[in-house]
Structure 1
Amino acid sequence: MSVSQMKNPTERIPIIIPRDYTATDLEEEHRLAYWREDIGVNLHHWHWHLVYPFTASQRSIVAKDRRGELFFYMHQQLIARYNCERLNNSLKRVKKFSNWREPIPEAYFPKLDSLTSSRGWPPRQANMSWQDLNRPVDGLNITINDMERWRRNVEEAIATGRVTREDGTTADLDIDTLGNMLEASILSPNRELYGSIHNNGHSFSAYMHDPTHRYLLENPGVQVTSVSVETPGGQPNTLSTFWMSSDVDLSRGLDFSDRGPVYARFTHLNNRPFRYVINVNNTGSARRTTVRIFIAPKYDERNLVWSLADQRKMFIEMDRFVQPLNAGQNTITRMSTQSSVTIPFEQTFRDLSVQGNDPRRTSLAEFNFCGCGWPQHMLVPKGTEAGAPYQLFVMLSNYDLDSVDQPDGSQLSCVEASSFCGLKDKKYPDRRSMGFPFDRPSSTATNIEDFILPNMALQDITIRLSNVVEPNPRNPPSAV
């Protein structure tokens, strides 16, 4: 119950969550959930690392008295206390995890949530194994071989009682140095040689469910069976561009003397309106999805097929919108003029004189915002007269991972180009990184074909230029 629903706002009604609300002690490891999930224990661990960070802009923040020894002792005590609780619950002591390539038999389902994302931490299924980490967006590219090499070097230092510094000199190994080496903090004598076994061990375990970020791309139960573009009177999967001559009144909003309209006629690129047709099979229940549409040239400047590392930087967003899906087969159609990237021609070239420039006017912010958006006439690249080969990419992403809780706000009277300009007085309408799914390198795909998952589709298209100039039907009658 929220405070607003209470008769007395000072009243506090606790929500009682039973200890075994989401699990049962018939699962042996759940007997320890009261300890592993204890809020106070987790707060202590979090605050310890706040007080003793492994890195900081100032070395003095990290280099506290006997920090490395305290790191070792505090974590040793965590394990000792954990083992005491295991014995109290008729369980064996925790096993040493020394073979980093063997599966971990036990599953683990955290009960704590992330306050910032309002989501539970991902579980670890039974018999999962560490895998090489390649998550560029998180700055992680580490292999199990790296971890094993670092461990051998640490073991050698322990056996000899000597550590090798970065400059090649050696020093005696003590418990304080060993703790800083194992974590590792910036106090480690040689992070290149001894690595960061503790910190990276956290990463290997935490990202075990998705070591390469693959599952952020999936949308289980949603399969895109085909995509196409249709231009009225045109060939299938062909976008048509041409030149247009338009008249714009430059006197409106410019500091000219009052001598009547000043029309400028300029020639600009334009495109024939077209529509996307997307066929989707939804094997689950009715849901919503975010449709993401991009295009990119099929070949590079040498007429060679792109590597994904390069082509991902060439994909231009054409549209993004939320779409309901019924169970079973769905056909989604969307006009190019509905693009979330663009605003219409008449909104780009508005009469600026009627607005003025007084910032105290309440409508000024709305007026300015309505002018933000990529011009509709520039949505499609020019192409060539022979026909430029492009690739159309369509993705239907998981709306549960996309959605944003929006505050109440006024609705603008104009078209909003939310992809490039956001929404006025609201949050950006997509929780994902901007440019998703091409916002980061792929660690598994070498080209776009390798990147495609069931909730995505790729279609070859052609952009053909008609090298003629057509008058804009909105032009005022000419006096000539």
Structure 2
Amino acid sequence: MTIHDRQIAVLKLYKYLSVATVTGGVHEDDDVDARLHGIGKGVSTSEIFSCFYPKHLEAAEKLYKVLYEAKSFDDFIHLAEQARTIVNPSLFAFATEVALLHRPDCKGLSVPNIQEVFSDKFIPAATLIRAFIEASVKTPGDESDVVVDVKEHGTILDPEHKLAYYREDVEVNAHHWHWHIVYPSTWDAKYFGKSKDRKGELFYYMHQQMCARYDCERLSNGLQRMVPFHNFDEELEGYAPHLTHIGSGRYYSSRPDHMTLHDLSEVDVLDMIRWRERIMQAINLRHVIDEHNKEIPLDEEHGVDILGALIESSHDSVNKEFYGSLHNWGHIMMSNIHDPDGRFQETPGVMTDTATSLRDPIFYRFHRFIDNVFQEYKVSLPEYTREQLNFPDVEVVGARVHSDIDNVIHTYMVMDELELSHCMNFGTAASVKARYHRLDHDAYSYSISVQNNGSTIKHGTVRIFLAPVHDELGNDLSLDEQRYLFIEMDKFKTELRPGKNTIIRGSFDSSITLSRQNTFAKLEHGSDIDENLTEYCSCGWPSHLLVPRGNEKGMDFDLFVMVTDWEKDKVESAHDDPLCTDAVSYCGVIDDKYPDKKAMGFPFDRYISSDREKFLSPNMRLTKIIIKHDE
């Protein structure tokens, strides 16, 4: 079987997956492989699957272990073909992708974009219904595409409506789904025989960057920075997702304004308060207590990683019973706020699902609350010293952005399309697409001038960040205020010869962004298949959202460039040529160490007491640039 044949076999698992349990033809009482007996029990096929909910996670873990242990690729497909007809579709998609990601015989294979598999998680119900109507009236033989526009479903009465283009972006929500598959909270390093390096810290950093990016978008739209969720009794703003759920024929529920959290059958609001206080106490004492009552220090090297596992909480939590699951249960509580005891049998809201939760404004406020817990730990660490920040003999003498106009980046809205015909059968052989607006930006490059005053070649790590200059009132932000807003734009290794060096780096080379899109069409064609790649390579931030929106007048940003000593940053790799190093900042490297010894977000992950002049060492450079949005 060729690699393309195997890719086609994987694609068939995901075609019309939403209705697989209805149309598959295999049922629990039929001749199902014994290894699948009991798999998926407790999670009905019509439920909205959540990888935040312990019961759902447990069921998904059982399935991905069965699939991971399959004797061969053919056996893997055999088990998966049967499992897709008896278990919850989203649970199946989650578990199958985790198994495929780590099976050695699945190298080079990819799962199609989750937005094509479950279009109902990304496209409003009204648009899907309109697509059905237009497809149904096509005349026989008409194979022209059916293209339906996604209509706005909010108004300016809701200030958050200005940010809908960002929160409801198809690819940013797909990124969140994929990240939680690459880093499932149930990951057991002992079972798989390999660990996910700095997994807890990646949980912290990826979500911290999401919050920073969201605040940059808010300031771009004339809104104030978000007010963190901070009080478990506070009234929450409302949100209406307008999404259907094909698997059940129901919907993702709305949340009216002014609702507050209530106890669930499995967890109380007081549990959440206790968990937060215990974690804060651990930060203040600089140690956590493991399940054997042993003190584990929260040191500079491992502290944030330990806290990340604790707060999520993941399998690596040192004491899940005592510190609980602040993050996961927070998602579940907020998604069930409208029917906490289930008396009305309402479906949960979008906060329950990693593919939809970023659509809700409360996601960002809740994660700013989570990030503030991490920041309590970060500010307890000593400030970086001049020695830790400096790179002797290396001076960044200039940094510019090259675009149509130097140091000006233009953003704008463009039209994009999502193929719907792989999610549901529209009764036509023609392509059926949803057309929507999304943010994009000009291609640009960095030109960085670096002086090596030494007599030998040096190797450096170039770190590029971006942050707004002014707050919502137009006042200059201090450097310590900016550090919560600095978004990482790129990070890469460079060689510095004695004398002057000019480094050119294109925006499309960013270590943040996704390098490829695995559409059904591309995977079916097979032209993009590379047996040296893995499904892991689909992790990364959407390239069109690399740059914040800016505003129509032109918004001032600080471009920060720093070059550090690569000899001190480098990590010994288990592989000569690690896979998928194009989006390592948020996603790491599969089966290998995170390729940077520095703390994620360095040098903005710790408190900065000094002003700009005192903080900046010769190997740093701040340059004012403008981001202008063209309507």
Task: Tell me the TM-score normalised to structure 2 length.
Answer: 0.38
Structure with the larger strand share: 1
Please tell me whether Structure 1 or Structure 2 has the larger radius of gyration of its CA atoms.
1
Structure with the larger helix share: 2
Task: Tell me the TM-score normalised to structure 1 length.
Answer: 0.49
